Structure 1
Amino acid sequence: MREDDASWDEDVRLAVYRAFARHGRAPGAPELAAAAGGSLAVAKQALHRLAVARHLVLDECEHVVLAHPFAAKSLGFSVMGAHTLWWGGCAWDSFAIPHLVDAEPEVLVATRCPGCGQPHALVVNRSGPPEGRQVAHFPVPAARMWDDVLHTCANQRLFCCESCVDAWLADTGQSRGSVLDLVTLWRLARGWYAGRLERGYRRREPQDAVAYFAEAGLTGPFWAATAGV
């Protein structure tokens, strides 16, 4: 075992992300242990440090629930590639998967409008945004997305149009956030997770996140990131 258990963190992080990318699921206990020199206990310690650093989200049983853009359970989106089927963490994450996974440059993103229940299936690839009138609604500002990240992801959804957003907000009592058309959503997703499957990945600093959002056409107080993104 290494003298510093924290040095296993990157190996465990890569094991988690690569299992999701290749198989559409989190790694099992043997895979995690193998990434931590054969010790599941060391792997679990690494998972907790990674969760604190906001590289992933654990449930109460220490299972990985989210490793953005991948999810271990349904949060409203399925993402079907030629070889792999994923749960997408949210609208943002679902559009990001084909940009991140080299072997799957095109996917079918399926969901239902929360406002009216209409099913939607969109082909998302790297060449350009899909056509359509659908919009994504982001209710939680960037600076607060990690306050309750499961709630944030579960509510970043695709709607038929802004009228369906308004109907859903009236039904749920939630406040209106930021509404993105498909072009803006695709721009937001295409490079956000670049490098996440590679060794040495670092999360963006707040000023870098704000600059990235601006390049996607997203500015103003809602997209003023802090360490929370």
Structure 2
Amino acid sequence: MNIIRNLFLIPITLLFINCHAKVKSDTNTTANNIVAKKTILSSAELQKNETAYFASGCFWCVEAIFESVKGVKEVVSGYSGGKEQNPTYEQVAYGRTGHAEAVEVYYDPEVISYSKLVQVFFGSHDPTTFNRQGPDRGAQYRSIAFYKNEEEEKIIRDYIAALEENMVYDAPIVTEIIAFDKFWKAEEYHQDFERRNPNQSYVRAVSVPRLNRFKQNFKSFLKEETH
């Protein structure tokens, strides 16, 4: 499969430098590399695209990463992986549901394949940390790859097998592989949070550096305006 053959074209291990470091403001880190403009698509336009679902820590970070990828038309922050109906941010944040912060990715399969989105997912977070991503701890920040059909499940499992076979990580991958059930859109103030709040302390200290590390290592995946 191309997904395995191209595995080491991307220096995945470089993305996790300082992943566990103490979070602090970096005066040299700016929001200049965040996507500056965004095309708003109607619901009808969005429905022409395929969807994919992932969870890998704070959805502010994950949304910004996927929105920088060519072929991705829209990314929505929300909650998935649990049984609670209509969860709120407060419920999820305090561990009162089984949901994780997740994203809904609308993408054009003629531009980017699901297998490449899986590469983006694994290459933009540390899949070996249990119920944690960077400074964020709790089951709501766990790593999950959701699949909608057998083909997607196989792509995920094959990619994990390739990562493990080639010992890309020093620790076991703990990413959950879950059949997609329901995605609940997060409150409106969470949508495009990183884009709209470039100087917010968490965004400057955690989100922007994470986005910039991804962009440095996945240059061929980026939209022209995000280079």
TM tier, smaller = under 0.3
Q: Could you say which structure has the greater relative contact order, defined with CA pairs below 8 angstroms and 6 or more residues apart? A: 2
Structure whose alpha-carbon radius of gyration is higher: 1
> What is the TM-score with the length of structure 1 in the denominator?
0.27
